[in-house]
Amino acid sequence: MYHSVTEIKRLVLDVLKPHHPTVIELARRLSSLKGISGVTCTLQEVDRETESIKITIEGLSIEVEQVEEIVAECGAVIHSVDSVSAGKKIVEEVETPQDHY
């Protein structure tokens, strides 16, 4: 059987982080990684000691292990991988009738 390495093009993560470093610093650090062309960090919820954020990363070849390292170095935890796009191009989700139930 033939196996090839397919690049990750988009990664959407649900992350819990302390207030410091800021989402600005986290986005800068992630965007400096090789293979990443853009990062969006969106604040979802704030409590006394932590922030819940959604991180969307796009690029030609995202190294998930490097992303995980940066997140951990910032004292954050990945709660879930909410979306992954891999292959030659990003395929957007398509709504189906079942999505409306």
Cβ(65)–Cβ(72) under 8 Å? no
CATH code (residue 18): 3.30.70.1340
* pLDDT tens for each residue of 28-76: 999 999 999 999 999 999 999 999 999 999 999 999 999 999 999 999 9
Tokens of 55: 């991180």
In a domain, 25, yes or no: yes
In a domain, 99, yes or no: no
d(CA 42, CA 54): 5
H helix runs in 1-101, sequence order: 23-31, 64-73
d(CA 94, CA 26): 31
pLDDT at 97: 84
In the chain, how many domains are there? 1
In a domain, 55, yes or no: yes
Q: Which domain holds residue 45?
A: 8-88
In a domain, 28, yes or no: yes
In a domain, 97, yes or no: no
Question: pTM of the predicted model, to two decimals?
Answer: 0.88
